[in-house]
Amino acid sequence: MRWMVNGVDSKSGKEVKLNFEAHDAKEAENLAAYNGVLVSAVTPMNGAKKDASANGKKDDPLTMDAPGKYHVVGTDWTTGMKTSWYIHAQSRHAAQVMAENEGIVITKLEYVLNEKSANEGP
């Protein structure tokens, strides 16, 4: 299966999009990492969406992986203070990488299904 990998070149810092032939998303991610790419998202090239309903958790915000708004809860690595904030990302993995790049040790990462839940706070 063909996979589109979005990320950043680890040497130049420029955004890149690469295509890989791989058995699954993890293999495509590993191939990109081997080629010096910090991966933010991996999607199938055939246009098929991941079937989230296969595991019975179609709209579970703790496991949902889609472009949109994510709620990040964790601890700031440098100050040790607890933090809670929202981030827009292309995927769950991209949100995790963005939070970690800000020095956050993540304790909870969830997809925001609607704006009402985003305004309710932690």
CATH of the domain at 38: 3.10.20
Q: Measure the CA–CA gap between 38 and 36, rounded to whole angstroms.
A: 7
Structural domain span for residue 84:
59-119
Give domain status of residue 83, yes or no. yes
pLDDT digit string (tens) for 52-104?
444 445 566 667 778 889 999 988 888 889 999 899 988 888 888 888 888 88
Q: Is residue 33 part of a domain?
A: yes
Residues 69 and 102 in one domain: yes
Q: Is the pLDDT of residue 30 over 70?
A: yes
Q: Which residues of 36-55 are buried (b: 16+ CB within 10 A; e: fewer)?
A: ebebbbbbeeeeeeeeeeee
Q: State how many domains the chain has.
A: 2
Q: What is the pLDDT of residue 61?
A: 65
115 and 89 together in one domain = yes
What distance lies between CA 6 and its chain's CA centroid?
11
Pairing between β-strand 37-44 and β-strand 82-89 as defined by DSSP bridges: unpaired
Q: How confident is the model at residue 26 (pLDDT cuts 50, 70, 90)?
A: confident
